[in-house]
Structure 1
Amino acid sequence: METRKRGISLIRNFKFNDAWAFVFFVLISGSLIGISLYNLFKNNEFKNFSQTSLPRKTTILFAYNIVCMLFLNLLWLLMLTVATKFLIYAGFFCGPVLSLIIFVLSFSQNGMAPKIYGGISFLLSLLVSILTFYAIRKQIDAICLLVSKGTIIIIQNIFKVFLLYFCAIAMVSVSTFNITLGVNEGEKANTILNYFNTFVVFWVIIFFAYLYDVFAAALVKNHVIKATGKDDEEKGINVGVKSLVVVFYSLGTIAFSSFLIALIRTCRYIVEAPRERSGDSRSGAADVILAILSFLLAFILIFLETLVNAMNKFALCYTAMKNTGFKKSVVESWDCLVETNCVALNAYVACEYAIYVLYLLNVLMQCSLNFGYFYFKLDKNKSEDIVLVVLSSIFFSLLSIDFVRIAVIGANALSFIYALDPERIAEYSPQLFAKIQEIAK
């Protein structure tokens, strides 16, 4: 068995791993986008688009939301550096409480299915919160320090991160826009083609989300290398450019890992779509049994997706460290987790609770800012203006919280650097080194 190489350094001889997966991704998504573009041209849709322009007030509202989103993202990242422990503990409380509220509200709806979903969701939320608190309670100080230090590195490189994030959003928007609008009526009626299109859309979205994760992990690694440089080359590296090079050579691994999640998510869509179309208004015994079975199957797929997504996050983080293929990254990233007593895994889970609280705060702030703009700038008597403000609040809230998840990647990257090259961490942050050393086996 090959021994894992210790230490991190600048990768000078890159290897393009899992190239077949990236070729497959380009062929599948590129072909579907090409077919969609052909349908749009054939139906003169582009001519219609070119003759349509966004109203001035819509353009201004979107620009206003982008500015607000940038400000709020920076604010949430700063909160993660100074109030990490508070946000994590608040997440343990907020999750079950909101699930309980949803469960109580479900009694106002007809049928048993909403009550069953609400009750099971509340019990699961409460159980998971208790188990997570028990698992991380002894590592909370190390977790908070990991998240704080990783987030500080992200803030120091915030413009690079913002630039790639918006580029990824643009690529996803253009791709999914073409695939969704370019499907003709005959293809929409074909269930298999409809599911295939859904799979490709999921694959494109997840591919660019993982690409962003690899860039963030490489950014943290190269930042630490530059700060603890052992020679002139390490001390003088361009962190952003070097991280982009790492991303380029990781495209195959990113395509492979995103393929797995897209497959599971498509299965979830297939399971949940019939239930959503049929509704939950009936309350017969057979309908209750079907609702329970449907919920259990959906829950199994959600659980599987969560596990595979976590595995991918750590594997891609290791890929950014060592330029390895997917399979090797999965195995060796697990070794890194074990060596640090799974502090990165616990930080990953704990961060989700903190981000959950930030998401609630973000929705509140984004809605408040939007309705403030609506009150002072838009026509309060027009229902379309209200709809526009609500949709803008939801859309930009989702974008904001996806961006804030970069803090998890920063924590993962630092813990992997400790496992691979503890001397680097000891030099970069003696306090972090001491905290991880206390809990590591």
Structure 2
Amino acid sequence: MVDLFDRSGDVPDTAPRPLADRLRPQVLGDVIGQAQVLGPEAPLGVMLEAGTLGSIIFWGPPGVGKTTIARLLADATDLHFVQISAIFTGVPDLRKVFEAAKLRRRTGQGTLLFVDEIHRFNKAQQDGFLPHMEDGTILLVGATTENPSFELNAALLSRSQVLVLERLSPDELELMAQRAENELDRKLPLEASSRAALLEMADGDGRALLNLIEQVMSWRVSAPLDTDALTKRLMKRAAQYDKGGDGHYNLISALHKSVRGSDPDAALYWFARMLEAGEDPRFLARRITRMAVEDIGLADPQAQSVCLQSWETYERLGSPEGELALAQALVYIALAPKSNGVYVAYKAARVAAKKTGSLMPPKHILNAPTSLMKDQGYGTGYAYDHDAEDGFSGQDYFPEDMGRHSFYTPVERGFERDLAKRVAYFAKLRARREADT
């Protein structure tokens, strides 16, 4: 289904209009927020000043002005505005849009095609825009809440400029609330604290705020409401979070880096944010255990056990009680000494293993269960370490054509300080054995 936006409007003036529609900016200068995109020295400001508007992908959360800015760009450049949604538009609809744009172009009228949720189109459908962008039939403005790097074709991205739109700040939401009050010709029936709570409920989404304001303004109250009265009447807007999307990976990255940075408070905050958004605690238990292995390792060998025990405790208790065990493990690993020594050594060993292919172990450490294998020299010259001085033979266990490699370098933190002493001790013994031979 194609939704063609007619700038003249097809809704009678007498029809009731939502507050968000009534407050829609009429010029780009009226847009609240997004100065990093619309300012005089910002990308769109520079493009419009130079009269060279190119195809654009708006990336940002809901309710920050993607559709409004696209519509106003068409007005500012005298282009015909066509709006479609990738959710409802199929290939036949796209063909009609392109054909109509071609007809307009022949009469000297350009087309700004706004595609909402453009990431919903598959790769082949995205490729279908390319020839029409290249020959100037359309100027594409796409909008997406997902990371374009992952969701859009490289060819489409190479022909467009990605502009990031941000959540509205509390001050910007307050300005929007004041505009709503002017439009409705009365003040919100809220105390200062409950007014701040209302802005917080919007969570940076301007459209959500105007919908909330419209609800509040419809109430019949005899006195301004306090925060408790407001929260009883309104449910807090759910945080923006997609378990399979960009928000999911952003938050788990923030959690992991907070632990790595030894900040238990920040770690608990991101942990709580993910739980509040509905993340599966088992996923978090798995990731917390991974953090212990990757970023603590042998600096505190107990960290892995603490994480596994907290995971088991969660499985026994379930939510919400078991989540406290995960929180305890999170604090423990955030405060634990950090080392990626084994992690780095493991990756280096994998690289060496891939590079050296099928090199055989040295014959002196091969078993020789048959006489043929003994004749081939298997096991010859093997030194049994328990019979050696200090219980250490110092033999080379790498392939003969490879030579010794050093992968593991302990850090001077936590338990690895002791391991560093052991590594140095055996290196000294090995050097002595080599000198004796």
TM range (shorter): under 0.3
Higher relative contact order (CA 8 A, sep 6+): 1
TM-score normalised according to structure 1 size: 0.18
Identify, as 1 or 2, the structure richer in helix. Answer: 1
Identify, as 1 or 2, the structure richer in strand. Answer: 2
TM-score normalised according to structure 2 size: 0.18
